[in-house]
Structure 1
Amino acid sequence: MGIRYLTVTTSPYGEPRVLGSDTRVVIDGPAFAYHIIGVCSPKHGPTSPFAQPSYELLGSTAVAWLDELERQGPQVAAIYFDGHLPRDKLAERLDRFRGVSRQLNNFFLATPHGVAESESRTSPVDRNKLFSSSSNRPSWAAGTLPPPPLAVQAICDALRQSDRYGDLTQLVPEEADCYCADSVRIHGGGVVLTSDSDLLVFELGEEGSVVFLKDIDLGGAATKSDGLHVQRSYSPAKMAKRLGLPAKYGVSALAFELYLDSYLPEGKLLENARQATAIKESPGAYLTFMEPYTLFPLESGPRTAVTPAELCNMDSRLSELAVQCVNLSSPESDSGNPTESSGSERDGSPLRIFLPNLVDAWTRTSAWEMGSSIRELAYRILRLGLPKQPAEVREYRRLTTAASSGGTCVSLPAVDAADGVAKSCAELMAQISKIRDPLTQNQKDEDSSSDLVWAVLSMHQDIQQSQDSGKESLVLHLLSHSTDRDGAIRDCGTWDVLHLLAQLQATLYSLRMLKQVLDFAASRAARKNADGDGKPPFPAALEELSTLLSYHLPPITAYCSVHDIKDLPRRLKEAGGLELLRDLAGLKEPIKFGADAARLAKKKRKRSAQTEQKGAGSKPGPRPAAKPRNMFSLLGALGTE
C-alpha cells in the first residue's frame, strides 16, 4: 500500500530505459486494474452511476492496453492479483473501507431526490486517452462516486478469459507484490509495472527494475521502432549504489528512515540512510518492517495452506476468506510461522470478508441483506471438514465511523455436518427450479429468461423480508407506483430504483460467491481423496448445485445495470414473472403497473402543502428495511439464523 513519500524521494533517481521485445514484464494486478479504471472514468470522477464505466468497457480496455504494450515491444510474463492481505494491514484496510463508505454516504446525502439519467459509458475509450500517460488518472472531486464495486474483479475476469493473458493471470494466496518481485528476481531480471512504491524495497536482483504505470506513454512521441521508451525506470540495485546506501540493506535503509519519520529533510534523510542510523537504533523494528519484503513464494512456496491453483476461479475478496478458513486448521497455524494464520485465525477473533461497496440508499438497510442466507450457506460449505469450525463470519458492508468497525456478524451453526449442508443446497436448488421452470416454459429462448430467474429470486426475498417486518415492499412499491402501464420504469435515477438495482447485484454476487466456494471445496476434497486420507466423497447435492450455477449464473459483465433496468418490469410480465412473484409471496392481489397518475399527483401536492406548513425542507426518505427472519422459508431454511 506504499511507503509515504518514497516515490517522491526516489523520483530524481529514475533513469530512461527502452523496453524492447526481450524485456520480461511482470504486472501488479490491482495497480493495473485501478490504472484502467482511471483511464475509463470521467476526468473529475463519475457524478452519477450513469457516468461510471461499464464492466464490459473496463475489461475490454484492460486487454487492449496490454495488447498495445506488447505491440510496442515488452512481453507480459505474469499478472498477479492479491488473494490474501496480512493481518497487520487490517487497520489500514478498515480506514480505506470507511473512506469509500463515507464517499457513498455523502453522495447519497447530496442527491436526496436521485440522479439524472444519461447515456452509458460503454463505447471504446479514445485512443489518445487510453495510451497517453497524461490522462490516466482522474481527480476524484467531491460529490463523485468511487469506482464501480466489482471493477477490479471484472478486469481480472477479462484477463482470465483472454487467450493471450489467461494463463499468465494468477490470484495468489498472499499479496501480489511479493510474487511480482520474486518473479523478476528468479528469472534474472525484468520489469515490474506497478503504482506501488513498495516494490522498490524488494530484492529484485541486479537486473530487476520498477516502472510506474503513470510513467508509461503508449501513444506519444516515446513510441520507437526499437521498443517502448520510458522516461523513468527504477533499479533498486543501481539506486542504492548511486546514493551510497549500505550494500547489506540497499533501498530498505532509505525506506525504513521514511517509515519512521517521513518529514526528515532530504539531506538528513540521505545521511541517516547511508549510515543505517535507524536500523542500528531499532534493529527489531527493522526486522519487523522487512518481513513483507523478504518473502520468496515462487522459490519456497506460499506461506499459506492454499495454493494459487486452488484460487484460479475465485474473486480476491472470497479467496481471502478461504485462506483464513483453511489456515485456521493448517499445521502452520500452530507453529511460529509469521503468516496471516498468526492473525485472526489464531487469536480467536472472527473471520472477515470485505463485501463490495454498493451504490444503495442509506435510509434503507444495506442492499447486502439480499442474499444473506445464500452467503451464509457459502460460509458453511467453506468450513466443511475443518476440525476447527469458526462460529461466525464478520461481513463489512458499510462503515462510516470507527465505532462501526465491527461489521455485521453472520452467526453459523456450532457444528455443521455435510448432510445438513447438502440438505440446504437441495432446498436452494428446489427454490431456483420453482422459479426457473415456469419462466423457461413461457420463453422461447431459455437464455433470455436466465437473468429473470435471479431477478425474481431477489425480488421475492425483498417481498418476504417486508412481510416479516410488516413494512411496505420496495419491489411492490416500484412495480405499482414507479412503472408505466407498458412496464417501463419512469425514472431510473431515483434512489428507490438504485437501491433495487443494488439488491439485484447483491443477490447475483452472493450466488457467485456460493459457486466459487462450491468449486473450491470440491477441489480441496479431490486433493484430500487423492492423498488417501479416507474423507467421504464430495456430497452429490453440492456438485449438482455447482453445475446448475455454472450453467445459468451470468458473468459480472451481464449484471443488471442502471442502463437496462428500465424494461425489467415489462420483461417480467411477458415471461409470467409477476404471477410467479405473487404466487411465491402468497399475495392476494395481482401485481399491476401504473397506479393512477392523477391520484399520485394529488397525493404529491398534498404532501408538498403539508411540508410547507411544517416548514420542512424536503420529504423524508424511505423507512429502513428490517432484517428478515428467513428469506427462503417457502422451502425451508438454508441456514440457521
Structure 2
Amino acid sequence: MGIRNLTKNIQPLGQHYALQDETVVIDGPALAFHILHLCRINCAAEPSDRLIAQSTLKWLNELAHERVTIEAIYFDGHVPPFKRTVRMERLMLNYAELSRLFSGNPEGCPRKQVARDDRRRLADYFSNDAPDFMPVLDPSFFVSAVIDALRQSPRYKNLTSIVPDEADAYCAAHVSARGGLVLTSDSDLLVYELNEGKVAFFRDVSRDSDSQITCSLFSPTQICERLGLPASEGLLRLAYEQKRAPHSTLPELVCACSRPIANEFDYRSFSKQYQLLPEHSLSRALHDGSLTALDTRVSELVVQLSSCPPTQRSSNDDALIMYLPVLMENPQRGTAWEQTTPLRQLAYSLLCSTVSPPGTSVSEYRRIQDVSQRGRRVETIPPAEAEALIDETLNVMECMKEIARSYQVSYWHLICMAVEANDCRKRDKQSLTWHVFQQQHQPSMVDGSRINWDTVHFSAHLQAALFSFRLLFQLLSVVRQGPNGSALPSNARQLWSELLQLPPLARFPDIGDAMRLLLLPKKDALIRDLSKSPHFATTSAPDPEGWKGVKKRAAGRIKNTCPTPSANKSSNSMKSNMFGLLSNE
C-alpha cells in the first residue's frame, strides 16, 4: 500500500536502465493494476476480464523477448488485520463513488461506466500517458482474472504463487536472498533489506525511441550511500521519518535521520512490518501451489481458519472475515450479494464443519459506509441442513439445464436467475431478476448512451451468483482434498462434479451479456417454461425500496418437481492445501 510521498522523494535517485538480460520478481497485484491502467490509457476505460487477462500475458511476453527472466509472480493470499482500516477506507470510497454516480444519473447509468471493452489487443503496451477517462469502479474480479490467466499459461503457471501474506514480503525475501529486480508499484519494497536486490516501478516502464524497454532502477544500497545514511538500516529510518512527516522534502528527511529517534517504541513497531521472511517460508511458497489454485478471497478465508486451529476456537470467537467486492449495481436496492447468501453460507458451513466447532460464523463485508461498520454475520448451518441445501441446489441446476437445452442460452445464466428467484420466494419477496426478465426490452437498449439501473442490477445479480458458485466450488475442493473430506454430506461430490462446469472468470456475464439475455429470441416461450418451475414462483408485488435488512433464515428443502440430478463421474481435483488443518500431510 506504500508510504505517502516516499517514491516522489526518491524518484530523482533512480537510474535510467534498459530492462534486458535481467532477473525479475513481480508483485502480482501491482501487475494487475498496471495492466488495468494500460487498458485505460488505450481507451479501454472498462476493459473486459478477458482483455485484461490477454494483455497481462502479452505484456509479460514482451519482457521475455528482451531476455528478461521472470523468476516468480507473487499475489496476496491474506492481508494482515492491522491493515483493516486502510482496506475498509477503500471499500467505503468505492461505495461512496457508486452512490454519487447513481445520484447524478438516476435516469440511467452512463454506458461508459459499465459497458465492457472486449477488443482483441491494445495498441501500445508500454505507454505512460494518462487515461482520458476513469470509471468510478474498477472491474470487480479483474485481479482474480489475471491469476486465472497466469495459472492457465504453460509459461507462467509454475512461476505464479498466492502466498499466505502480502505479496511484497515475499518479493522482498526473494530478491534479498537471490538477487534480482522487483517490479512493483509499492514503495514499501524500498524499505526492506534487499541486500543487492533492486526495485523498479511499473509506472516508469516504457519503450524509448530505439524500441528498448526501459525503467528507472532503484538500489536501496546505492541510495543510502548517496544520502550518507548508515547501510545497516537501509532506507528503513528514512521511510519512518517520511511516514511521520508525509510532506517533508528529501533533505529534511535526511536531516531527521541524523537526529536521535523520537519514539523508540513507535520505530520498533514500524520496523516489524519490514522484517524479512525466513528462507523456508519463501521455499514453501515457491514449491507448494495449494493456495494458487484458489481465488484470493477464498485463500484469505482458508488462511484465517488455518491460523487459528480448532482447539483454539470457540463459539464466542470472532467470526472469520470475507470481503466481497463492490459490484456495479443500483445502490438504492439491496445488494446483489444478498440473494446468493445461501450459496456462500453452504460453502462456509462445509469448510468449517470439518475443522471447527459448531457455531463458527463468517462476517461478510459488502457495502461499506463507515470504517467502524461491522460485517453481515453469516452463521454456518449443521450437516443435515447443508445436505438439504445441496439437494435443493442440485435440483435447481438440473431443472435449469433441462430448460436451457431448448433455447440458445447458457444454463448458468438460468441457474443464477433461479437461485436468486428461489431465495426471494422463500422470503415472500418478488425476484428482481425474474421481474426484469419478464419485461419487454427494446433492441435499442444495446446502443443507448444510458443503461437502466434495473438492467445494471440484473447483471450484478448474475455476477454475484456465479462468484458465489465459484467460492462454493473452491472451498468444497479444499475440504474434499483434506483429511476430513469423508465427513462431507453424501451428495457433496455430486455438487462438486456439477460445479466443475462453471465458466471461468473471463467468461462471467457482463452488462452486454445481460442485455443479450433480456433480448433473447423466443423469450416469451422461455418465460412460460420457467414459470412452470417452482423456483420462479412469487407471492408479492415489487418492493420499490429493494430488499434491505432481510432477517437471516435457515436453508430448507423444496418440493422436487424437476428431473432428478445425476452424478458426474469426473475425477478432476485441486492440488492439496498447504495447511496442516486442511491437508493429509
TM-score (norm 2): 0.85
Checking the alignment, whether the CA contact within 8 Å between 1:297 and 1:303 is kept in structure 2 is no
Report the residue type matching 1:378 in the other structure. Answer: A
Checking the alignment, whether the CA contact within 8 Å between 2:354 and 2:487 is kept in structure 1 is no
Checking the alignment, whether the CA contact within 8 Å between 2:40 and 2:133 is kept in structure 1 is no
Where relative contact order (Cα < 8 A, 6+ residues apart) is larger, the structure is 2
Correspondence 1:295 to 2:276 = yes
Paired residue for 1:428?
Answer: 393
Checking the alignment, whether the CA contact within 8 Å between 1:14 and 1:233 is kept in structure 2 is yes
Paired residue for 1:5?
Answer: 5
Checking the alignment, whether the CA contact within 8 Å between 2:339 and 2:424 is kept in structure 1 is no
Higher mean C-alpha displacement, 388-397 vs 145-154: 388-397
Q: Which of 236, 239, 242 does residue 223 from structure 2 map onto?
A: 239
Change (3 A) 1:158 1:9: same
Paired residue for 1:152?
Answer: 143
Q: Which of 249, 253, 263 does residue 282 from structure 1 map onto?
A: 263
Change (3 A) 1:152 1:390: farther
Correspondence 1:121 to 2:117 = yes
How far 1:60 sits from its partner (Å)? 0.5
Q: Secondary structure of the equivalent of 1:159? A: helix
Query: In 1, distance between residues paired with 2:482 and 2:140?
Result: 29
Checking the alignment, whether the CA contact within 8 Å between 1:45 and 1:138 is kept in structure 2 is no
Checking the alignment, whether the CA contact within 8 Å between 1:24 and 1:75 is kept in structure 2 is yes
Structure (1 or 2) with the larger CA radius of gyration: 1
Q: Secondary structure of the equivalent of 1:27? A: strand
Checking the alignment, whether the CA contact within 8 Å between 2:349 and 2:386 is kept in structure 1 is yes
Q: Cα RMSD over matched residues?
A: 3.3
Paired residue for 1:614?
Answer: none
Q: Secondary structure of the equivalent of 1:154? A: helix
Change (3 A) 1:389 1:272: farther
Checking the alignment, whether the CA contact within 8 Å between 1:464 and 1:631 is kept in structure 2 is no
Per-residue CA distance 1:80-106 (angstroms, 9 max, x = gap): 110101110001111111011111111
Q: Which of 185, 201, 210 does residue 176 from structure 2 map onto?
A: 185
Query: In 1, distance between residues paired with 2:288 and 2:277?
Result: 14
Query: In 2, distance between residues paired with 1:439 and 1:378?
Result: 26
Correspondence 1:623 to 2:545 = yes
Percent of residue pairs bearing the same amino acid type? 30
Query: In 2, distance between residues paired with 1:324 and 1:353?
Result: 10
Change (3 A) 1:473 1:237: same
Report the residue type matching 1:60 in the other structure. Answer: Q
Query: In 1, distance between residues paired with 2:157 and 2:536?
Result: 48
Query: In 1, distance between residues paired with 2:145 and 2:86?
Result: 24
Checking the alignment, whether the CA contact within 8 Å between 1:314 and 1:516 is kept in structure 2 is yes
Structure-to-structure mapping, 1:106-145, within 5 angstroms: 106-117=100-111, 120-128=116-124, 130-132=125-127, 134-135=128-129, 137-138=130-131, 144-145=135-136
Report the residue type matching 2:37 in the other structure. Answer: G
Structure 2 unaligned residues grouped into runs of 5+: 561-585
Per-residue CA distance 1:338-377 (angstroms, 9 max, x = gap): xxxxxxx999332111111101111111011131100000
Query: In 1, distance between residues paired with 2:315 and 2:4?
Result: 31
Correspondence 1:460 to 2:450 = no
Structure-to-structure mapping, 1:308-387, within 5 angstroms: 308-329=288-309, 348-387=317-356
Change (3 A) 1:467 1:524: closer
Checking the alignment, whether the CA contact within 8 Å between 1:58 and 1:155 is kept in structure 2 is yes
Paired residue for 1:566?
Answer: 515
How far 1:29 sits from its partner (Å)? 0.5
How far 1:633 sits from its partner (Å)? 5.0
Checking the alignment, whether the CA contact within 8 Å between 2:350 and 2:479 is kept in structure 1 is yes
Q: Which of 264, 269, 290 does residue 253 from structure 2 map onto?
A: 269
Query: In 2, distance between residues paired with 1:586 and 1:536?
Result: 31
TM-score (norm 1): 0.78
Checking the alignment, whether the CA contact within 8 Å between 1:102 and 1:400 is kept in structure 2 is yes
Per-residue CA distance 1:366-400 (angstroms, 9 max, x = gap): 01113110000011112122244553211111112
Query: In 2, distance between residues paired with 1:58 and 1:250?
Result: 36
Paired residue for 2:362?
Answer: 393
Q: Secondary structure of the equivalent of 1:256? A: helix
Query: In 2, distance between residues paired with 1:185 and 1:178?
Result: 11
How far 1:631 sits from its partner (Å)? 7.5
Change (3 A) 1:574 1:586: same
Correspondence 1:410 to 2:417 = no
Aligned residues: 552
Query: In 2, distance between residues paired with 1:171 and 1:576?
Result: 46
Change (3 A) 1:387 1:570: closer
Checking the alignment, whether the CA contact within 8 Å between 1:62 and 1:155 is kept in structure 2 is yes
Paired residue for 1:33?
Answer: 32
Paired residue for 2:156?
Answer: 165
Checking the alignment, whether the CA contact within 8 Å between 2:337 and 2:461 is kept in structure 1 is yes
How far 1:3 sits from its partner (Å)? 0.9
How far 1:78 sits from its partner (Å)? 0.8
Paired residue for 1:55?
Answer: 49
Higher mean C-alpha displacement, 393-402 vs 292-301: 292-301
Structure 1 unaligned residues grouped into runs of 5+: 47-51, 335-344, 529-534, 590-619, 637-641
Query: In 1, distance between residues paired with 2:278 and 2:108?
Result: 48
Checking the alignment, whether the CA contact within 8 Å between 2:92 and 2:367 is kept in structure 1 is yes
Change (3 A) 1:407 1:190: same
Report the residue type matching 2:513 in the other structure. Answer: D
Query: In 2, distance between residues paired with 1:398 and 1:365?
Result: 10
Report the residue type matching 1:271 in the other structure. Answer: C
Query: In 2, distance between residues paired with 1:236 and 1:346?
Result: 48
How far 1:585 sits from its partner (Å)? 3.5
Query: In 2, distance between residues paired with 1:254 and 1:420?
Result: 56
